[in-house]
Amino acid sequence: MKPTILALSLIAPLTVAAQTSPVEVYGLLDAGVVVERGCQGDCARSRLDSGIASGSRLGIRGREALGGGTSAVYTLEAGVKNDTGVNEHEGKLFGRQAFVGLDGPLGMVTMGRQYNLVYEALTDVADPFHGGMAGNAGNLVGYTTKRYDNSIKYQSPRSRSGLIGSVIYSLGESQFNSKINRAYGATIGYAKGPVNVSISHQRKNNMLDATGTTPAVDQSARNSLIAANVDFGGAVGYAAYGHSRGEGSNHWDMSNPYGAMAQTLPTDRSRDALFGVSVPMGATTLLASYIRKDDQGLANRDADQLAVGASYSMSKRTDFYAALAKIKNRNGAGYGVGTATTRGRGDHAINVGLRHSF
């Protein structure tokens, strides 16, 4: 058989498959300048960074119709540090998302590495900065960790009344006890017209060290969150109220095992409140938010964050953004102003950057 004919015979089945079950290659590149001040310890006062407003990524996703309104769905998404070209998640090729599942009339079930529900509610519903830039809500609001490995997630179809629900279960996969490192959560949401409300709760059990004994720092966590936004026409108002319990419940605090900023003693319980607004003005959108963290532990390490920002859409896929945030730490608290992917080390920061999706 001639090489040309052989090549065509091999490509033809792939072409047919691509027509019936297209594979989408997508991505996002985000880079800019971060200026930090008020650092705890050594830090770069200014740097070129990646993933400021949104995590840079490269992914593939798709679905195959199976009949009866049911489809197989899948996503593989890698985090990229486009300032240096390295993988964002060390040791994980597809560290952002990696799942497969079925989507049908009764809802969608997916399995793999997936976002936890409290984090999704916080960034998608309550935060005008949507989890990015200097003003992102994750600087202070507790959600334990963004993603769960070994997880099974179910999302119901949205009802005509606007109700939708989700549950997630992450297997701990410990050799010592099935309860160790296990996590689970649930969300019920309402979205209809200008109103979007979500109520979420999650729990992550304690982990054991390599010897099978309980570590010195309790890593269990419980997070509850009420998130909402309302579109008033000329502006969108945002609000959230969160309650976090357990020394592993506040993600952006280096004293807990999921680690980021530094604090002498862990916060084992706190209440968080967020109020924000976004105002579209042509191609420009103005952003602002205020967050109050009420530490209810003995150390009483409270913190407040005030943030302002703006984005300018150059096209449907490209935007320019800038943001400024300041955290006031009290009683020895050490929370820092971060970005969508980078841990904050200073108590105030400025971001200026460019984001392009494809």
Q: 152-200: per-residue pLDDT in tens?
A: 999 999 999 999 999 999 998 776 667 778 899 999 999 999 999 999 9
Question: Domain for residue 268, yes or no?
Answer: yes
For the record, the structure tokens of 233 come out as 């026409």
Those residues with Cβ within 8 angstroms of residue 318's Cβ, 6 or more apart along the chain or in another chain: 354, 355, 356, 357
Distance separating alpha carbons of residues 180 and 82, to the nearest angstrom: 36
Q: Judge whether residue 64 has pLDDT over 60.
A: yes
Distance separating alpha carbons of residues 75 and 63, to the nearest angstrom: 9
pLDDT at 110: 99
| Average pLDDT score, the chain | 87
CATH number for the domain including 318?
Answer: 2.40.160.10
Question: Domain for residue 145, yes or no?
Answer: yes
Q: What is the pLDDT of residues 36-60, one digit of tens each?
A: 988 766 666 789 999 999 999 999 9
Q: Judge whether residue 135 has pLDDT over 80.
A: yes
Amino acid at 83: D
Question: Domain for residue 81, yes or no?
Answer: no
pLDDT at 177: 66
Q: What is the pLDDT of residues 228-260, one digit of tens each?
A: 999 999 999 999 999 988 777 775 444 433 334
Amino acid at 343: R
Distance separating alpha carbons of residues 55 and 339, to the nearest angstrom: 9
Could you tell me if 116 and 202 are in contact, meaning their C-beta atoms sit under 8 angstroms apart?
yes
Q: For the chain, what is the domain count?
A: 1
Question: Domain for residue 291, yes or no?
Answer: yes
Question: Domain for residue 137, yes or no?
Answer: yes
Q: What is the pTM assigned to this prediction?
A: 0.86
Distance separating alpha carbons of residues 161 and 174, to the nearest angstrom: 41
Question: Domain for residue 51, yes or no?
Answer: no
Q: Judge whether residue 270 has pLDDT over 70.
A: yes
Those residues with Cβ within 8 angstroms of residue 92's Cβ, 6 or more apart along the chain or in another chain: 113
Residue 151 sits in which domain range?
Answer: 105-357
Q: Judge whether residue 264 has pLDDT over 80.
A: no
Question: Domain for residue 218, yes or no?
Answer: yes
The residue ranking higher by pLDDT, 261 or 191, is 191
